[in-house]
A and B are shown apart, each in its own frame.
Chain A
Amino acid sequence: MAIASKAASPLRVVLTGNPNCGKTTLFNSLTGLRARVGNYAGVTVERKEGTILGLTSQRPVRLLDLPGTYSLSPQSPDEQIARDVLFVQLPEVPEPDLVLVVVDASNLQRNLYYATQVIELGHPTWVVLNMVDVARENGLELNVPSLSAALGIPVFPIVASTGEGLPALRTALDHETHRAGPLPEPRSFTELTESFGKEAESIESLLETELPERKRLAMAEAVLLLSDDRVLNTHAGKYPETIAFAIAAARNRLEAAGVDWRSAAIEARYARAAAIQMAVTTETSPPGETLSDRLDRVLTHRVWGLLIFVLIMGLMFQSLFTFAELPKSWLEAGVNALSSWVESSLPPGDFTSLLSSGIIQGVGSVITFLPQICFLFLFLSVLEDTGYMARAAFLMDRLMSRVGLHGKSFIPMLSSFACAIPGLMATRTIDSPKDRLVTMLIAPLMSCSARLPVYTVLIAACIPTRRLFGIFGLPGLTLLGMYLLGIAGALGMAWVFKRTLLRGEPSPMILELPPYKRPSLLVLFRHMWERSRLFLRRAGTVILAINILLWFLVSYPKISGSPAAETDRPTDQMRQSFAGRAGRFIEPVLIPLGFDWKIGIGIIASFAAREVFVSTLSVVYNVENEKAGSPSVANLANTLKAEKWPDGRPVYTPLTGITLMVFYVFALQCVSTVVVMRRESNSWKWPLFQLAYMTGLAWVLAFLTYQLGRACGWN
């Protein structure tokens, strides 16, 4: 009995290491294709967990992939999660039975800096020495037994991308499942100076009495607490006050004695890491320029580097904008076909309408994002796994820093041209929470693909097809102007936010440029699939619910039947509905912008998604639709041109068109963005703020456009 219950409880293994050391590749080859991907409670840090396959033992082995970390003194939400799991300070993750530290053999010193920190925590720990192939290529031979002796724990040399060395690791894991050995002796890899060591010891004994459950790692914890000036703030409540006081007092004493408590432990540890690295490494060939170095000479070159960057970004933008458009249009056609099939085969009524316009169209509006999201995630994975992402940030940092942003903000902003939702998701690579938030707040100002139908119809209806200087068509120039306006707005608002609301110390850009790697196709597609599925599950349900709500607002209350006016019914229904009433209710706010209540309905209804503006207007103006589905742009534009105010002036003048487009450039007319913003920022505060500031900005700028236009006699 006892054995059976022991067999059922899994062996909990945690995978940790520096960023880019190959953790995820190892995770994938150990767990096969089935992993659970989710989030840690309260943060958008990805949590990946799976069961190790190919073991003979009955006892399951659960593997948790931690985010990459340079040290146990966290600088980002990702690193904080890794630290908290290893310190057993995260309620949702129980204490690990075994820790695997992945160490990049081609970058041994810095990887050992982290590995020795983890070993000191006193969990049963093994080192997985990855990338031995890269080290070999660079002319470095590592002596595994002497590394194992120096660290005092087992070391497994592997090549995660080819599977070399994995059988030995699996065998060892098999043994581990029925082992009940003693916990390892505490070890220290830092020879502390006398004064620093004494202070650390007194904090250690205080920790032992205050937090007896973590007694074994008290010394490692004491050294980290003493030298890390942020952790006591970020972990307020996790440490008793007495400890905070003792640490402040110890630091004062050290400062008075002229000891730099921030660097003392770091210097001691690096000295040890360097000594170990020298002792275990033999250079088999003189160090020369690696393939990665040669690539970098082109890819970060003054001319070629920028040119290739523009090409790569162009390709990415193109694939989001055009290639994804094809599957997107199939999905849309499929959704429309299904919804009209439902309409024609079920008896007309509320239920049919709910099913076809509410539910099917709502599901449709979620899955039609899917191709773009998949393409984006595929691209991001390629950029990240090859190592090019860091170069993109390196190339663009100068430009982005002009408005106070980070080089890493460039790609989310570019993605937002396709759609703000993948753009918001792409901000996850930004470490500094404030920079990430600023990027998320401004990303939806980039003109996304859903604005294009709106611009197209309004340009066709309002902008004369004249030419400027004989070559530039006015419609094309207008469209370009709207895109540029969005970019200017985004950069301007970033500048404003960085100086006001989210002011903070400029976060230094200390970024590793990892060697280029050939990514594994399987890993890329898995990544794409896992992340897209998470999007569908989490954001999809809420987007669907809100779409159903909006359907209700345009469908109710029903007008009482007046069969005489059969052809006017949709228009009358629209006017009668809650949305129509709201449109008339907000008309006073719209008059100063030159809009009437019908445009108001369009604005309200298009809150579900901007492109809905077009279909709503065609219902409002009762445009004859072609049977196939979407209203033709030309028909709608002609109807709009003929539309008059009660006093006979045309409604859709060039000025109205420009004003309305300016409004759409700045307004956050997209439920899905709000929902995803809620998920990514983990509160309702930021999406609501974003909604308010963008709507306010849209109104004010539209007002200025219209009033200035009129004042200049342009109408």
Chain B
Amino acid sequence: MKSTVPESVTPPRPLSSLTPGTRGVVVEIRIPAEHRSRLLEMGVLVGTPIELVRFAPLGDPVEIKVRGYHLSLRKHEADLVLLRVNS
């Protein structure tokens, strides 16, 4: 799965910088290790496909779709989740 994504074409982008409707695959999670566990347990792992669904009306938090369900996280965390966007 991972090897099919061309490495050189698109540089990884923070989840929070995407526009609603964009899909991508997580390539790195820069949240400090101690705070990462809940996000991992909710299924957001390196290699997981994610769709950015929308931003909340006041701009924060963001809503994503992962493993078939909807999850919201603050921009602060979404800044630290890097995705390779499918073209």
Contact = CB atoms under 8 A, between A and B. Distances in A.
Contacts, number: 112
Interface in A259-285: 260, 262-263, 266-267, 270, 274
B82 to A, nearest CB: 15
Nearest to B70: A513
Contacts of A401: 60, 74
A343 interface: no
Contact of B54 (A300, A407, A506, A510): A300
Contacts of A109: 43, 67-68
Interface string B27-44: 000010111111111110
Interface string A98-116: 0000000011111001000
A75 B74 CA distance: 18
B5 interface: no
Nearest to A263: B40
Contacts of A73: 37, 41
A407 B60 CA distance: 11
A395 B77 CA distance: 17
Given A113-B43, A397-B60, A397-B61, A508 B74 contact: yes
Contact of A510 (B56, B59, B60, B73): B73
A35 B17 CA distance: 49
B9 interface: no
Interface in A297-335: 300-303, 305-306
B42 A510 contact: yes
B70 A505 contact: no
B22 interface: no
Nearest to B63: A513
B45 A110 contact: no
B36 A262 contact: yes
A229 interface: yes
A468 interface: no
A266 B63 CA distance: 22
Nearest to A138: B68
Contact of A262 (B33, B73, B76): B33
Given A390-B72, A515-B70, 12 more contacts: A110-B43, A110-B67, A300-B54, A303-B57, A394-B63, A407-B61, A508-B76, A509-B72, A513-B70, A513-B71, A514-B69, A514-B70
B58 A399 contact: yes
A70 interface: yes
Given A228-B37, A394-B63, A509-B73, A300 B57 contact: yes
A639 B56 CA distance: 54
A300 B41 contact: no
B70 A512 contact: yes
A511 interface: yes
24 contacts: A106-B68, A107-B69, A110-B42, A228-B37, A263-B45, A266-B37, A267-B45, A300-B54, A300-B57, A303-B57, A390-B72, A394-B56, A397-B56, A398-B60, A398-B61, A407-B61, A508-B38, A508-B73, A509-B73, A510-B38, A510-B39, A510-B73, A511-B61, A513-B70
A266 B40 CA distance: 7
A606 interface: no
A302 B54 CA distance: 10
Contact of A395 (B36, B40, B57, B74): B57
A390 B71 CA distance: 10
B57 A306 contact: yes
A71 interface: yes
A266 B74 contact: no
A510 B77 contact: yes
A278 to B, nearest CB: 11
Nearest to B71: A512
Contacts of B74: 397, 401, 508-509
B10 to A, nearest CB: 24
Nearest to A140: B68
Contacts of A513: 63, 70-72
Nearest to A393: B72
A401 B73 CA distance: 13
A301 B45 contact: no
Contacts of A263: 36, 40, 45
For the complex of A and B, the 4 pairs showing the least CB-CB separation, nearest first, are A398-B58, A513-B70, A109-B67, A71-B41
Contacts of B69: 107, 110, 512, 514
Contacts of B54: 300
A399 B71 CA distance: 19
Contacts of A113: 41, 43
B79 to A, nearest CB: 12
A512 B57 contact: no
Contact of B42 (A301, A397, A407, A512): A512
Interface in A180-236: 228-229
Contacts of B56: 300, 394-395, 397-398
B40 A262 contact: yes
Contact of A511 (B31, B43, B71): B71
Contacts of A511: 61, 71-73
Contacts of A512: 42, 69-72
Contact of A508 (B35, B59, B68, B70): B35
Contacts of A399: 58
